[in-house]
Structure 1
Amino acid sequence: MQIAMLIVSVIVLIFAISFFRTSLKSYLPIRLERQKQLLHKRLDHDFFFPITVIVDSDDYPFSYINNVLTQDYKLFEVIMTDSSGDKDKLARLIKHYALKEDNNRPVRYYKDCIHPDKIYKGREGNIPLTLLVLNPENITDTESSNPLIAAGIAASRMPYISFSKNGSKKIIPGTCLRNMARCVLEDDNISEVSLYGMVLYNKAKYIEGIDSNAVNET
């Protein structure tokens, strides 16, 4: 009787070991695949870094600014700059985005940077909005750099800056900022990326006047 029980125990043990090994072999690949997926999701989230998008002020129907606001990037703010002196245009812009006058935002001083007369702030969803109103009388043709861009740079809080390449206000795909940021993030030597009518600068290098190693795509 004892011998029979021993034999049965050995058989059960062998079966249990075999079952455990088979289960482990089938479970590990699934677990590894899940880990890869989880890692991918984490990396996809963690590799977003803050960007300041500087754009010229828009007027109704605000298609250009709305286009920027619908980018699928996760972390960015929008700074709008205006030197038109058009009070009606500014009133429409302020009302549409429910902006409130708030001149407490820190504005640093760089070369050729004009301090805004008024600053308005608000939010569109999770995206902070800032409107810088510059006096057109303070802007001259002798400026060595774009005064609107310089003002936006001075008011930005983010380590990278994106702004309109030209005055055409070209509509850009929703993945534009993501594609541009990836180039800058993956290569520290890149100081400028141009894509779909927008430009992304490495802020520190741009302020220092380094515009080399540009990558242009149209």
Structure 2
Amino acid sequence: MNRIRIFIRSHRALAAVIAVMVLAAVMAGAALFQPWRIFTSSNVNEALPVVEGPANTSSGGGTAAASPGNTATQPTNPQPTSPLPTNPIPSPAILKSGAFESQEHETTGSAQLLALPDGSHVLRLENLASSDGPDVKVWLSSLEAGGDWFKYRSGAYVDLGSIKATHGNHNYAIPAGTDVSGLASVVLWCDRFSVAFGSAPLA
């Protein structure tokens, strides 16, 4: 300890440089690993996606208004009009689904690959519960869920963007033109450290 004090007193400029370098390394490590995320979580709950059909604008046989000069009297007891016909909104079709399994972090919930009535596709995560982390993405992968996560880099995948929250029910639009028939799994992928937090098969 005395030697360190003597060194600092005799090499103040060098000691100051070393102190700045150590502080910079600590700050860089904190920014990279973000260790506080171990204690943080978030929740997003989105409704099941729907595509509404065209609105029904038919008048349904309403009574015409009288024009100037028209002396015709309206019936005193008009017949009741029937209710407007309604067009039910079709529900999304589940093409593939599977339950999450933990990999680097404990992860539960389910994933559903949905086809909407307009021909688009959406990935829905339901009852998700996972861990927070830096740069976590939602991937659709051509490889099977589980096992060694290093394989996901070598397979084909579709990056749907950053995960919306660690918990809840989320919808992720799948880019138009994506061949969903070749998708085998959903992966919660930490892009910064190349690890899978969890994955779900699409069967």
Higher relative contact order (CA 8 A, sep 6+): 2
Both structures adopt the same fold (TM-score exceeding 0.5) = no
TM-score where L is the length of structure 2: 0.34
Normalised to the residue count of structure 1, the TM-score between the two structures is 0.32
Which structure has greater helix proportion?
Answer: 1
Query: Which one has a larger percent strand, Structure 1 or Structure 2?
Result: 2
